[in-house]
Amino acid sequence: MTNPSLLILPGDGIGPEVMAEVRKIIDWFGTKRDLAFDVSEGLVGGCSYDAHGTPLTDETMELAQSVDAVLLGAVGGPKYDNLDFSVKPERGLLRLRKEMDLFANLRPAQCFDALADFSSLKRDVVAGLDIMIVRELTSGIYFGEPRGIFEEGNERVGINTQRYTESEIERVARSAFELARRRGNKVCSMEKANVMESGVLWREVVQKVHDEEYPDVELSHMYADAGAMQLCRWPKQFDVIVTDNLFGDLLSDAAAMLTGSLGMLPSASLGAPMANGRPKALYEPVHGSAPDIAGQGKANPIACILSFAMALRYSFDLGDEADRLEAAVEKVLADGLRTADLLGEEGVTPVSTSEMGDAVVAALDASV
C-alpha cells in the first residue's frame, strides 16, 4: 500500500517558518502513529518568480495535480508590488486554485476557550464559537470577463464582472449542505439579491438544490452586508455559511477576528473527487506572508498546523488523528503559551515560532 502524497509549498515571508513546524508534526505522525506521508516540496509565489521568472512553474503545477493534497504557506510581499500583474506572487496561488478546480473554500472560525478573552468581542459572544464559511473560489468577480482598466473618453475606467453559472452555484451549495449534515445541520446562504442579478440567481439555485436534494438541512438566506453585521452581533447563530467569492473573502476575514488572530485560522480548498474518491485539495492558513516579521521567530504556526489537521480529515480520512492534533493545539493554548500575535494577557508565556511547534509535538506525545 502506497503512502499518501503531500506537496508542500512554503512560499514567501513567514511561510517557510510556519511550514517548518508542520514538518515536525508530519514527522511525528510518521514516527509515533505509523502514518508516513510521501512529501515533496516546491516553490510558489515570489520565491518562484525569483528563481524561475514565474510565480508557478508548469512542473510544480503538474506535481500539484498528481498528489493527494497540497499544503501552502503564504505568498507575496512588498518586494513584488511593482511586478506586472500577470507575474505577481498571488497569480501562482490563483493558478493553483483555478487549474485544480478548487471551487469550495472551507474557512472555519473556531474560538478556543483559552483565547475567548483575546477577541475584540465579549467572551459570551465568542466563547464556544465554531462556524464554517464555505466560499465559492473559482468564479465570480475575481475571474469574470470583461475585466481590466480601459480608456473611456478622457479618463480611465476599471471593470470587473460578477458572473456565475447555475452549475457553479449548485456544486458549492452541495458542498455546504454536505458539510452541514456532519455539523449542526444549518446553512445560511449570503448574497446581495436585492441589488445584484447574480445574487438573485444565487438565491434561486441554492434554494432549488436544498428543496430537491437536502430538505433535511435547515436553510436560511441573508444579504451579505447584514450577514457581516450579524457575525459581529451574535456569530453563534450560524453553523455553515455559503457565499460567493468576493463576499466569502470579506466575511471570512471578518470572522477571523472573532477568534482573536488571523494566525489561528486554517482553510481548505476542495475540488471534484479524484480516482480514489477524495477531492483534489489545497490547504493553507488564512494569514498572509507577513514579511515585516519574517525570520524573527514571531510568526504563529498554529493556522498552518491546523490546516494540516484539515488535510488529515478531508484528504486522508483520518478524522481521529485530526481531532488528536486539534486537541494538542487546544492543550498548548490552555497552558498559556502564546506567540507574539497573542500576547497582551497577564500570566501567559511568550514563545517563538519553533517553541510553539515543539509544544504541540510535546502535547501530541502526551496524547499517546
88 annotated among ligand-binding-site residues: yes
Task: Write out pLDDT tens, residues 176-213.
Answer: 999 999 899 999 999 999 999 999 999 999 999 999 99
237 annotated among ligand-binding-site residues: no
Is the CATH number 3.40.1120.10 carried by domain 1-107+262-368? no
Q: Which three cell numbers stand for residue 339?
A: 506567540
Neighbours of 61 (CB within 10 A): 17
Average pLDDT, the chain: 94
Q: What are phi and psi for residue 19, nearest 5 degrees?
A: -70, -30
Strand runs labelled E in 288-362? 337-338, 349-350
223 annotated among ligand-binding-site residues: no
Going by pLDDT thresholds of 50, 70 and 90, the confidence category of residue 147 is very high
How much is the pLDDT for 284? 96
Going by pLDDT thresholds of 50, 70 and 90, the confidence category of residue 99 is very high
| pLDDT at residue 275 is higher than 80 | no
Burial of residue 98 (number of CB atoms within 10 Å: 0-12, 13-18, 19+): middle
DSSP summary character for residue 1: -
| pLDDT at residue 122 is higher than 80 | yes
Burial of residue 250 (number of CB atoms within 10 Å: 0-12, 13-18, 19+): middle
Q: How far apart are CA 80 and CA 56, in angstroms?
A: 14
CA torsion sign for 179, 181, 186, 188 is positive
Q: How far apart are CA 189 and CA 93, in angstroms?
A: 26
298 annotated among ligand-binding-site residues: yes
Neighbours of 129 (CB within 10 A): 20
| pLDDT at residue 344 is higher than 80 | no
If we measure between CA atoms, which residue out of 303, 288, 364 comes closest to residue 332?
Answer: 364
| pLDDT at residue 79 is higher than 90 | yes
104 annotated among ligand-binding-site residues: no
Which one of the listed residues 130, 253, 317, 358 is annotated catalytic?
Answer: 253
Which one of the listed residues 49, 142, 164, 283 is annotated catalytic?
Answer: 142
Which one of the listed residues 192, 214, 239, 280 is annotated catalytic?
Answer: 192
- pTM of the complete model: 0.88
368 annotated among ligand-binding-site residues: no
Query: Has 253 been annotated as catalytic?
Result: yes
Domain ranges (residues) in the chain = 1-107+262-368
Which one of the listed residues 27, 130, 225, 335 is annotated catalytic?
Answer: 225
Q: Where do the H-state alpha helices sit in 182-279?
A: 197-213, 224-233, 245-258
Query: Has 236 been annotated as catalytic?
Result: no
Query: Has 58 been annotated as catalytic?
Result: no
Task: Write out pLDDT tens, residues 26-65.
Answer: 999 999 999 999 999 999 999 999 999 999 999 999 999 9
